[in-house]
Structures are given as structure tokens and as C-alpha cells.
Homo-oligomer: A and B are copies of this chain.
Amino acid sequence: MKAISILGSTGSIGCNTLKVVEHLGDTRVVAMAAGRNMPKFAAQIAQFRPELVSCDDGSCAENLERELHSYGAKAPRIELGPNGLIAVASHPESETVVSATVGAVGFVPTLRAIEAGKRIALANKETLVMAGELMTTAAVKCGAEILPVDSEHNAIHQCLRGETKNEVRRLILTASGGPFRTKTKDEISKASRAEALDHPNWKMGEKITIDSATLMNKGLEVIEARWLFGFEADRISVIVHPQSVVHSMVEMIDGSVIAQMGVPDMKHAIQYALTYPARQENCTGSLDLAKIGSLEFAEPDLDRFPCLGLAYRALKEGGTTPAALNAANEVAVGAFLADQIAFHRIPEIISNIIDAHVSTEADSIEAILKADEWARERAIMAVSETAVAV
């Protein structure tokens, strides 16, 4: 039996991870962490019986024990908050840590898992965006393997099997284009919360769905790809592909393009990360290209989707700028989801913060968290100014 830990078990990736664990049959969950959704967490614990769990705070833990009681399940060891996440991430028995919390909260626990030499099934893209160099350097040093769970990076990982890095010309990330792919600039700027959450292909969490609507998601993925695969920004392209069937591609120096395709179901990438280098029978549907009929491709429009350009800019500036970009984006998206700002304010707020950010080297947790906090505060200020103005 393989043993795994899950950070963020009640989220979309976490729930799908548990479905994959059920399907595989040879994997057990030794530790899992969730935030505040205790009814769901209790149900998961009752089913998967981890040895250690973690939740946000003491009041969550009380709820959790109550919920577990109703399942007739004995509570496992419960840890709290950031230290609880770290305890789950570094549980001595777990070989693989599924890092699936949303946002910056997963950063330190994931780094601890890397330092413990565990395999990381990485769905928390902010971790690499904020601290890509730190994380990947630590992974090399500690012999920890990072396997991307994002469908795009997972696809690139698959395309690179058997290939040599210096024979790669460029990585090509596909982008569905999100719900506003065919909308005008004006329509996009006035988009409602419901419209932005209506993603055409993928069922995901709210934050990442908004990131898909702004194309910031693809921008963050460009930064993530830079660190996962070691290619500079000018060797990472984005192409719009509304069907999300081609999950991503790699162009080799001889002009050959290797693509990975599949049904748009996150369970595939999760299973791949858990079983790699082996492949096992899928628990997802299989691809029927003849039934799909047509796959479309187009260049991304940086004018209508400025967030993508902002992410490239942050990657090129380097240092702590990607961390600042990520923090500003988290706050701006949160404010949009709370109906505090209009959709078009998301890139504006981020752009202003990048303009004002003085980038320093991203060579320590402190430097990165400092940039994160600075950008977060500034973004909150920008939101409150706008909120007053609205």
C-alpha cells in the first residue's frame, strides 16, 4: 500500500483525489487537512480513516468531533492551522503529498514536504508562482519529485517522457479561453460574478474559475511551467483551444509537436501523479475524437485578457514580482467574488501593484512572504478605494 497525505481534501482536487484513491485500491490516506468545511471533512475521515487530520482552528475541530460522532467514528489526532498543515505535509509515513490547498496557505507546508524528500502531487499553483526557484532548488537538493496535477503541466510532463530537454523548442500551454473567449472587451469589463463562474469545460473551485475567466490562470501556469520544466518565458507559449481536449503540447527542435489529449477530468492528472512512472486503468471516461468532431485553436488576445500579459511581465521581471502578482490577484479575485469590485478592476489592481513593486531576490521564505504581504495589503487598499467609489 502506498501512503499519501492530502492538503485541502474538501476542495475540488481533494475530493477527486479521494475518488482516485478509491479507484486505485492500493493507496491509503494517512493524513489530510481541510479548512472549515467540517461536515464534508468528517464524511471523508469516516471513510478513509487517516491517522492525522488538520483543520483551521479549535472551533472547527469541535465541529469536526461532533460530526465524526454522528458517523460513529473515533476522531483521529487533530492538529490546527498552519502547523497542522505542516504536520499533515510531513507525516512520516506518507510518501506522496497532494498539495491542493488554494492560494498562498499551501506554500510553507509544501516546502516542508519537499524538504522531507516526499513526492509532491502539486495542484497548488500559487506555491510555484510565489517561490518557484526556492521550491525547485529544494526539490533537487532533497531528491523530491514534483508531479504537476494541473492538466496542462501534467500534459507537458507526459509529452516530455522519453524526450531530452535540450531538444525542446518550446512548451505550448492550451487555454480554454474561459467563459469570455468570444465576448467583447466592453462585455468582459461588466461581467457578473455568475457569468465569470460559468466555465465551459472544467468544474473547479471558484478562485481558479475566475482566474480562467481573466486568463490569469494561464499566466500563473506559464510561471509554474517555467519552474517545473526549466524553460524561460520566451520558450513558453499559450494557445487558445476551447474544447480543452488537447491539454498541452511540446514543440521539439525538429518541428515535431507532441500533444497530450484526454477528457477534461482532473482525476486523470491526479491518478498520473500518484502512479507515475506507471500508468493504470482510468476511472475517467475515454476520449472519443470522432464524436467531438472538431478541435479549434487561436492566438490569445492580450488586449481583452491583460492578466496573461501581466503574468509574463512578472515572470520576466523575476525575483519577488510573481509573488506580488499572485497576492494581488488573490485579493482582487476575492473582492470580485464578494461583489466588491467589477471584473475589469482585477487586472487594473494587479497592474498598479506590479508597477509599484520593488522586486528583490526570491531566495528566502521571508522575502517571498514579505512581497506577498505587501501586495496583499496594497490590493486590499485598492479594493476598498474602488468599493467606496462603486
Q: Show the binding face of A for B, using Cβ within 8 Å.
A: 158-164, 167, 239-240, 246, 249, 251-263, 268, 271-272, 275, 278-282, 284-287, 289-290, 292-299
Contacts and interface: CB of A to CB of B under 8 A. Distances in A.
B161 A161 contact: yes
Given A161-B163, A239-B289, A258 B255 contact: no
A278 B167 CA distance: 8
Contact of A295 (B164, B262, B294, B299): B294
Stoichiometry, as copies per complex, reads 2
Given A161-B163, A261-B249, A282 B296 contact: no
A339 to B, nearest CB: 36
A281 B253 contact: yes
B290 A297 contact: yes
B261 A257 contact: yes
Nearest to A155: B256
A251 B286 contact: yes
A291 to B, nearest CB: 9
11 contacts: A158-B256, A167-B278, A255-B284, A255-B286, A256-B268, A256-B279, A257-B261, A258-B258, A259-B259, A293-B298, A295-B297
Contact of A161 (B162, B260, B278): B162
B293 A255 contact: no
What 10 pairs across the A-B complex have the smallest Cβ distances?
A162-B162, A161-B162, A255-B282, A289-B297, A257-B261, A254-B279, A167-B279, A259-B259, A295-B295, A290-B299
